[in-house]
A = this chain, B = another copy of it.
Amino acid sequence: MSVITVERKILEKNDEIAGENRALFARHGVFVINMVSSPGAGKTSILERSLERLKGELKVAVIEGDVQTDLDAQRVARYGVPAVQIVTRGGCHLEANLVRDALEQIDLATIRILIIENVGNLVCPSNYDLGEACKIVVASTTEGDDKPLKYPSMFRNASVMIINKIDLVPYLDCNVQTLKQNALSINPALTFFLTSCRTGEGIAEWCEWLKAKADSLPS
């Protein structure tokens, strides 16, 4: 019982800080997304393709969450955007206070979009609000079409589902239509993008969505 109480207190405290983060983002007119997925679904690759595409159009900053390394921040920094790495040292998800601390290194007045890449984990990050405008769940076609049913909380809490590695479908037993239907049975409001970071398919559409969201905010 004490565990549940502690857990609830952690979540309440997290939600409070997430609310403060959200208010801060609103004051600066920054559109913030929280990218979540299994390990290796392609969050960082989508981010790289998106940064290439958005270059010169819209100022972006990135916060990278990782259990142990700063490999992802290194990859992202090559694109000339501010990139802050949070290393959780074994922690399985980002929390709002970690994002708040990382924000000390980002000048929100100079950016329009902040992309937070969470730890690769389809379970734990779903419960932790970071102050984002929305969660973007990336599902790789290689993971099969049943994942929304098996990890429903993440798909329920996301606004957008990016179905990545679409170029590999001919070599897999994954039915993209079934994957979409399974996701919609959990969350009928989901918006879908089908992408491949190898061929570039779908990246333009995804970036258009991102730009439209950022443009809709008062700056």
Please name all residues of chain B whose beta carbon is closer than 8 Å to the beta carbon of A92 when the two chains form the complex: 92, 121, 123-124
The answer to whether A165 and B153 touch across the interface, beta carbons within 8 angstroms, is no
Task: Report Cα–Cα, A151/B142, bound state, in Å.
Answer: 20
Residues of chain A in range 174-205 having any CB-CB distance to chain B below 8 Å:
198
With A2-B6, A40-B143, A71-B149 as contacts: A120 and B119 at CB distance below 8 Å: no
Q: How far is the CB of A127 from chain B (nearest CB, A)?
A: 8
A66: Cβ under 8 A from any B Cβ? yes
A111: Cβ under 8 A from any B Cβ? no
Question: What 0/1 pattern do residues 32 to 73 of A give for CB contact below 8 A with B?
Answer: 000000111100000000000000000000000011110100
The answer to whether A39 and B150 touch across the interface, beta carbons within 8 angstroms, is yes
Please name all residues of chain B whose beta carbon is closer than 8 Å to the beta carbon of A121 when the two chains form the complex: 92, 121-124
Q: How far is the CB of A99 from chain B (nearest CB, A)?
A: 18
Q: How far is the CB of A152 from chain B (nearest CB, A)?
A: 5
The answer to whether A71 and B6 touch across the interface, beta carbons within 8 angstroms, is no
Please name all residues of chain B whose beta carbon is closer than 8 Å to the beta carbon of A140 when the two chains form the complex: 40, 142
Task: Report Cα–Cα, A67/B173, bound state, in Å.
Answer: 23
A168: Cβ under 8 A from any B Cβ? yes
Question: What 0/1 pattern do residues 67 to 100 of A give for CB contact below 8 A with B?
Answer: 1110100000000000000000011100000000
Please name all residues of chain B whose beta carbon is closer than 8 Å to the beta carbon of A6 when the two chains form the complex: 2-3, 6
With A67-B151, A150-B68, A152-B68 as contacts: A142 and B120 at CB distance below 8 Å: no
Residues of chain A in range 132-156 having any CB-CB distance to chain B below 8 Å:
140, 142-144, 146-147, 149-153
